[in-house]
Amino acid sequence: SLLMKRKLFLYNFKNLRWAKGRRETYLCYVVKRRDSATSCSLDFGFLRNQMGCHVEVLFLRYIAAWDLDPSRCYRITWFTSWSPCYDCAQHVANFLRSYPNLTLRIFTARLYFCEDRKAEPEGLRRLHKAGAQIAIMTFKDFFYCWNTFVENREQTFKGWEGLHENSVHLSRKLRRILLPLYEVDDLRDAFKTLGL
């Protein structure tokens, strides 16, 4: 099926701060071709990790097999249950450099191990520097996914308790990760000056 089961979506995309037991990454995607002022949808669907292969790499293999026309512009949008790990972020950044006619927007439900002294924040910074737009999913994004990728049987999407607060918290955390390092140092200096 092209559509995800409701329980599968709600379990895997719930934007909990501590998502214990959620080890798989799901990736919902939309691929569009831009023709001047209009765009044409080419494909949509969802993928999940397979044995030994992360979902981001699976998608790159899938899209590379399309033999994209270098004279046309393409826009890919991902909605992921976890942000990419360091290695996957590197693979995606290299892919984007190889396809300058392709843009990628990533909306993620949760940040994958983006704590201090881990490599993942650096991976996200490199991915962002390679041109990927990265954001945390909001109610609007979950609503869109529910209506586009989920076998919802005409049921309206209902947000869970804490959805908005967790989105705000994760958005702030992502913004701090993506700040250029000199801005982070400037902020630290400002906080020291203020005694904070």
Strand duo 102-108 + 73-80: pairing: parallel
Q: Token digits for 102?
A: 């392709």
Question: How far is CA 142 from its chain centroid?
Answer: 12
Alpha helix locations (H) across the chain?
6-13, 55-64, 86-98, 120-129, 139-149, 163-178, 181-194
Percentages helix, strand, coil for the chain (3-state, rounded to 5) are 40, 25, 35
DSSP state of 180: -
Determine whether 120 is an active site residue: no
**3-class DSSP state for residue 108?**
strand
Indicate the burial class of 149 (C-beta count within 10 angstroms; 0-12, 13-18, 19 or more): buried
From 56, 154, 165, 183, the catalytic residue: 56
Strand duo 4-5 + 150-151: pairing: parallel
Q: Would you please indicate which residues are annotated as catalytic (active-site) residues? A: 56
